[in-house]
RNA sequence: GGAGAGGUAGCGAAGUGGUCAUAACGCGGCGGUCUUGAAAACCGUUUGAGGUCAAACUCACAAGGGUUCGAAUCCCUUCCUCUCCGCCA
């Protein structure tokens, strides 16, 4: 959500930004907002004056009554009644205008970063940098479910029976690997100075509507029947939610947090759960990072955040690349974002394993996350990024560490979480 | 799930229809005096949102309605927290 003052003073910049995002249908909203804002402030001003009169006269009535001046009190009462009649319709108008204003402000996109590439959709995202050599071995890399099955490590049939498509049982070494990756990710981030959190896995509806759009909510969130609770789609929901309507003392930022949680997603929409395997599923686990910082520091944190993910994957011998989201593919709330993609030697292409976003002050403005500065309060900047999300990550891990004999090598940093093993063997 | 108590500033808490919400009082925070430095003591200061060049002014006492000239205070609905009991990993 933009600052209405910024829009008032820079309508052309806001329009320019909308064009860059190829959302020309939203251009008219800018002029509408300016017009509604003007009427709203007029109505509010008039209302404020009337309310001031009412307050003043009501106080006078108190004084009249104390002195037993019944007639004067009666006259004053009539005057207030007139004011109230006038206010009745005016306040209704104020309310309506405020609602119209908010409705439009919520869909006007955030100003994108200066260096964000201009493009219509994800096909125009821009590769930034490759890390590690994308190797294609001369032996066959099977489909990830087949690799898992070769270790007797997955049972999708049972999962379909108990829970339906989009769920999984992991077992044995594969299940252990899954936990090992998360434990390693946790310690990896703690070593880099992040504070580790295990947050609530369910959140209330007012938090849900705060942290996401209505469309997103419909397509992602599972609701608990008979309760005002939703299963989180990512720990970002509970982690950012904890700051709603909070004023943070200046010496308590930056908040660099890393959180673990299971994530639940309906995955309604474009992709669905059409693919066999564990690439897109209703339930997965994720180690996440969330940062709340001063505005001038968010660029630095953005680079630090995605770098963490790259370093993490590289420490497990997985080649990755960074892909910057172009203007048209960027969610409305974001200033910029990039995907970290892992190399798939089977498909001989990169696929998404994490997403790093700088939301600027848009999320903070929407949720009321402020920092208490010496010269007044200001909105914080918020960022988030995936450390790692297995089991999707295991696809990359297994494909890249698979040996010709069917065993999978365990890179050194992970061994202490796998009972010291340097590789796992086929069953 | 049952019973009770409660929700007011960063925290504790007073306020039960108007001249204590410019939110008492206490703690904490910030600035200062004193001190070699610190502690203590003392003095001052300290909610947020909107509005304005700056003011004036408006709004917010869990949320939403109602009564009233006027509501933190009275009424209704909803939510939440705590304590005890029950159940439970």
pLDDT in tens, chain A (427 residues): 888 989 999 999 999 999 999 999 999 999 999 999 999 999 888 888 998 888 888 888 887 877 777 888 888 888 888 888 888 888 888 888 988 898 899 899 999 999 999 999 999 999 999 999 999 999 999 999 999 999 999 999 999 999 988 999 999 999 999 999 999 999 999 999 999 999 889 888 878 887 887 778 888 889 887 777 889 999 998 899 888 888 888 888 899 999 999 999 988 765 655 567 899 999 999 999 999 999 999 999 999 999 999 999 999 999 999 999 999 999 999 999 999 999 999 999 999 999 999 999 998 888 888 888 777 788 899 999 999 999 999 999 999 999 999 999 999 999 999 999 999 998 8
**Closest nucleotide relative to residue A81's CA, C1' based:** B69
Give the integer Cα–Cα distance in Å for A114 and A335: 9
Q: β-strand A336-344 against A349-358: which pairing, if any?
A: antiparallel
Q: How far is CA A361 from CA A110, A176, A237, A366, in A?
A: 9, 40, 17, 8
pLDDT of A214: 75
CB-CB contact of A166 with A266 (8 Å): no
CB-CB contact of A207 with A237 (8 Å): yes
> Residue A366: in which H helix or E strand, if any?
helix A362-367
Give the integer Cα–Cα distance in Å for A6 and A157: 55
Among protein residues, the one whose C-alpha sits closest to the C1' atom of B29 is A249
**Closest nucleotide relative to residue A62's CA, C1' based:** B18
CA of A395 to C1' of B12 (A): 54
Give the integer Cα–Cα distance in Å for A174 and A161: 21
CB-CB contact of A285 with A182 (8 Å): yes
The reply to whether CATH 1.20.1280.290 applies to domain A4-107 is no
pLDDT of A274: 54
CA of A95 to C1' of B66 (A): 19
Give residue limits of the domains in chain A. 4-107, 122-424
**Closest nucleotide relative to residue A44's CA, C1' based:** B58
Task: From A105, A96, A99, A90, select the one nearest A44 (Cα to Cα).
Answer: A90
Domains A4-107 and A122-424 share a fold: no
Give pTM, 2 decimals.
0.90
**Closest nucleotide relative to residue A83's CA, C1' based:** B69
Cite the DSSP H helix spans in A163-293. 172-191, 205-211, 214-220, 235-241
Q: What is A122-424's CATH superfamily?
A: Bira Bifunctional Protein; Domain 2 (3.30.930.10)
Q: List all nucleotides in chain B with at least one atom under 7 A from a protein Cβ.
A: 10, 18-19, 48-52, 56-59, 69-70, 79-80
CA of A252 to C1' of B39 (A): 26
Give the integer Cα–Cα distance in Å for A14 and A290: 28
A197: tokens are 């959190």
Strand B CB-contacts below 7 Å: A 4-5, 41, 44-45, 47-49, 51-52, 54-59, 61-63, 65-66, 76-77, 80-81, 84, 228, 247, 370, 372, 376-377
Angle at A183 between CA A153 and CA A277, to 5 degrees: 35
Rg value, chain A, Cα:
27
Give the integer Cα–Cα distance in Å for A424 and A407: 6
**Closest nucleotide relative to residue A47's CA, C1' based:** B58
């Amino acid at each position: 959500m933009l600052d209405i003052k910024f829009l008032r003073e820079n309508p052309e910049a806001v329009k320019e930004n909308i064009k860059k995002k190829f959302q020309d249908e939203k251009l008219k909203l800018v002029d509408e907002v300016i017009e509604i804002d003007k009427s709203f402030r007029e109505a509010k001003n008039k209302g404020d004056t009337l309310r001031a009169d009412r307050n003043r006269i009501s106080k006078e009535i108190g004084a009249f009554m104390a002195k037993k001046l019944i007639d004067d009190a009666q006259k004053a009462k009539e005057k207030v009644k007139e004011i109230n009649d006038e206010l009745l319709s005016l306040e209704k108008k104020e309310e309506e205008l405020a609602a119209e204003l908010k409705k439009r402000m919520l869909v006007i996109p955030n100003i994108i970063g200066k260096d964000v590439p201009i493009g219509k959709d994800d096909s125009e995202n821009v590769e930034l940098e490759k890390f590690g050599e994308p190797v294609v071995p001369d032996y066959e890399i099977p489909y990830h479910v087949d690799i898992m099955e070769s270790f007797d490590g997955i049972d999708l049939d049972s999962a379909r029976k108990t829970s339906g498509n989009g769920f999984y049982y992991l077992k044995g070494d594969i299940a252990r690997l899954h936990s090992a990756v998360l434990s390693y990710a946790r310690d990896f981030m703690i070593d880099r100075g992040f504070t580790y959190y295990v947050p609530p896995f369910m959140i209330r509806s007012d938090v849900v509507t705060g942290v996401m759009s209505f469309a997103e909510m419909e397509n992602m969130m599972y609701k608990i029947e008979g309760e005002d609770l939703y299963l989180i789609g990512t720990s970002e929901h509970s982690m950012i939610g904890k700051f709603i309507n909070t004023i943070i003392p200046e010496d308590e930022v930056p908040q660099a947090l890393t959180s673990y949680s299971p994530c639940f997603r309906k995955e309604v929409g474009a992709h669905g759960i059409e693919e066999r395997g564990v690439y897109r599923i209703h339930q997965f686990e994720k180690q996440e990072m969330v940062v709340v910082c001063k505005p001038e520091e968010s660029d630095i944190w953005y680079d630090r955040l995605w770098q963490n993910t790259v370093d993490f994957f590289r420490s497990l011998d997985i080649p990755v690349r960074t892909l910057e989201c172009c203007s048209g593919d960027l969610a409305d709330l974001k200033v910029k974002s990039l995907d970290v993609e892992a190399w798939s030697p089977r498909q001989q292409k990169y696929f998404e394993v994490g997403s790093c976003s700088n939301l600027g002050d848009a999320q903070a403005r929407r949720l009321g996350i402020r920092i208490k500065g010496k010269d007044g309060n200001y909105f914080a900047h918020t960022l988030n990024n995936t450390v790692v999300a297995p089991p999707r990550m295991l696809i990359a891990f297994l494909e890249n560490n698979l040996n010709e004999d069917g065993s999978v090598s365990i890179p050194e940093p992970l061994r202490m979480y796998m009972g010291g093993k340097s590789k796992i063997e086929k069953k």
